[in-house]
Structure 1
């Protein structure tokens, strides 16, 4: 095998890594400046909620289209332009002068984000096939790194009183340059293609079930941001500083163990890994809630992050490899359900809490994690 042949998947791996980083960074940048945008436009909480819904709506709508394009044209042909478009769309929320303009801008930003999300995950699986070993979990870890990078730069910009428009313009330019460079190293469409005709059959029950597993895991992830601090502060009566550590520990453990995910799946296989991760997440969080102590709760949130870290990459891997000729569409459907779980998590926990209490509410994602562990056979390679 020639040096050039070996270098192609290596370059493509770095390129896909770059797309995962810039996608996380774009989302982290927007999230970090929500308070400033709210203040600049004089929005109330209901209007901010509408703006957040616009991002989600744009992403979900785009996911329904991009899967077909990635299968028909090749993910590289979609990912390159989509990365540039997503970077450029970050400009729009920064210059929106009122709520309607902000909602329209965020619909476009969400559409760009959703398009890149599906295309880069599809291309990541194609690169993994060229490698012949697990590498997908590391990509997802780099998305988390990008999110932390975007949020960190956003916090510095807010501290330095840099206007949202100028901040978003600088970040959009930087992300656009990275996207332009990265697109040249993607696998060429003829190398990435499967050679099989595009099939027009509907969604298979297996893909729906993988989407359900993604929904359950994302529901747990979404619930942690809003409810773990409230559990520590309101139920266990900790200080605000201690309450903030719950979500921080959860996020840190999820990122760290995603970097270890490729090593673990190579040693254990996807089924055993998902089974162990689901058990760690469910038993860890459930046991902590039963102990009803701040230290136990923080350890439980850490175990929940460890458990969830490797499941979504394996679910995406299984979905994208069931039928390579429709990998983009299958990933789009699973991504849509996963995104729905992320949005539904805080709401579901809130509803259960309103009927019972917060401890019972947080037990819901623990039970769902155990269900995922019992359903681990769904990620078995085909």
Structure 2
């Protein structure tokens, strides 16, 4: 499921510049449309966490796979910014709910195996992102339209989801409750430690979201690269992220969460500096690759730490942190667009250096 989620999301990302050009959207208009993804995800993530603790993560995956799988072809034929934003809202709603449910599935497997596995699961998301971005670059080069591209990707997603659904974990609701005292009625603010993990997730995923939505635009419009090279930017980012995540569980077991997260934050900062400092597309691709390696392990560590928060149901804990984190992932790109229209895209992407440093500063919070 991680692979399929990354595949379909990257498929959309790889053709953003062409859709922006077809609808003649400014950076701010594109940013406003991307905000619809954030709105859809932020609405469904808490709902997904609530449903996970009551009807199981497996059933939640089935429910929300429908809008996520069916939306992409309609993105390609949206006649104006309004329809584009509406379909992006549905796409984001499915994406956000699936994220909470599949991370709950991953935590259950990690708990059963009694060893770090979250990074490997997230590696599959990055591998899907690599496959989506890489195929996007190839398909753009041979001249397929976004509608043909997205229709094929959606069809493949539906077939693969149906094939793999029987193998998803059968979790029993309420089995993940870790509350030692009687549950309280009504709304309760999440523990401070969980909110700090959420802040870390926001900071890291702002950068990840910006790389997804703006790396291709930056390469194409600011550096004058071809559409194929522009699509390859996110592929380079996804490749090193996947490699980093596949090795992440081993690194965590050897060096511990705190050391790995602190080093990762420094590496991502260096990569961002290279990405925005050079006028050469080949060096920008290298910078994006370094950013991918730096961000690779941080989010899996944060999610795993959140799921172990004492006194909070697993679904609720993951919903809190994923909602906060993916709010950053999805709200970051629109903000980048607004700032780019006020200044320029190079400057707005350069601001991400500050967000990447937050992971280094708060690394101690992931010790558990």
Task: Give the shorter-chain TM-score range.
Answer: 0.7 to 0.9
For residue 118 of structure 1, the aligned residue among 100, 106, 131 is: 100
Q: Tell me the residue number matched to 2:244.
A: 257
CA contact (8 A) 1:207 1:334 kept: yes
Choose from 190, 194, 209 the match for 1:203: 190
Q: Does 1:144 align with 2:126?
A: yes
SS class of match (1:203): coil
* Aligned partners of 1:84 and 1:179 also within 8 Å: no
Q: Does 1:220 align with 2:220?
A: no
* C-alpha distance in 2 between matches for 1:269 and 1:117: 25
Does structure 1 conserve the Cα–Cα contact (< 8 Å) formed by 2:31 and 2:338?
no
| 3-state SS of 2:121 partner | helix
Uncovered stretches (5+) of structure 2, i.e. residues with no partner: none
Contact 1:221 1:345 in 2 (8 A): no
Query: Which residue of structure 2 lines up, in the alignment, with residue 13 of structure 1?
Result: none
**Stretch of structure 1 that moved more, 259-268 or 90-99:** 90-99
The residue that corresponds to 1:11 in the other structure is: none
Q: What's the secondary structure of 2:308's corresponding residue?
A: helix
Q: Is the 8 A contact 1:71 1:325 kept in 2?
A: no
In structure 2, what is the Cα distance between the partners aligned to 1:63 and 1:55? 12
Unaligned runs of 5+ in 1: 1-18
Identify which of 321, 324, 330 aligns with 1:334.
321
C-alpha separation between the residues in 1 aligned to 2:79 and 2:287? Answer: 43
- Residue number in structure 1 paired with 2:261: 274
Give, in angstroms, the shift of residue 268 of structure 1.
1.6
Matched, 1:107 2:107: no
- The alpha carbon displacement at 1:250 in A equals 4.7
Deviation of the 1:301 alpha carbon: 5.6
Question: CA 1:333–1:194 in 2, change beyond 3 Å: closer, same or farther?
Answer: closer
2:175 to 190, 193, 198: 193
2:25 matched to which residue of 1? 44
CA distance, structure 1, for counterparts of residue 295 and residue 15 of structure 2: 27
1:322-381: per-residue Cα shift (whole Å, max 9, x none)? 14852222222222322233332684698599789968973x544544442232221122
Q: Is the contact between residue 222 and residue 346 of structure 1 (CA under 8 Å) also seen in structure 2?
A: no
Whether the 8 Å contact between 2:49 and 2:315 is mirrored in structure 1 is: yes
Which residue, 30, 42, 45 being the options, matches 1:63? 45
Mapped to 1, the partners of 2:51 and 2:79 lie a distance apart of 34
Distance 2:346 2:135 in 1: 34
2:59 is the counterpart of 1:72: no
After superposition, the Cα gap between the structure-2 partners of 1:47 and 1:182, relative to the gap in structure 1 and judged at 3 Å, is: same
Structure 2 equivalent of residue 311 of structure 1 = 298
What's the CA shift for 1:137?
0.9
Q: Flag the 1:50–1:192 CA change in 2: closer, same or farther, 3 A.
A: same
Cα displacement (A) at 1:246: 7.7
Q: TM-score, normalised by structure 1?
A: 0.76
Report the TM-score when normalising by structure 2. Answer: 0.79
- Cross-structure match for 1:375: 362
The secondary structure found in structure 2 opposite 1:190 is coil
- 2:4 touches 2:157 (CA, 8 Å); kept in 1? yes
Larger of the two Rg values belongs to structure: 1
Deviates more, 1:174-183 or 1:347-356: 347-356
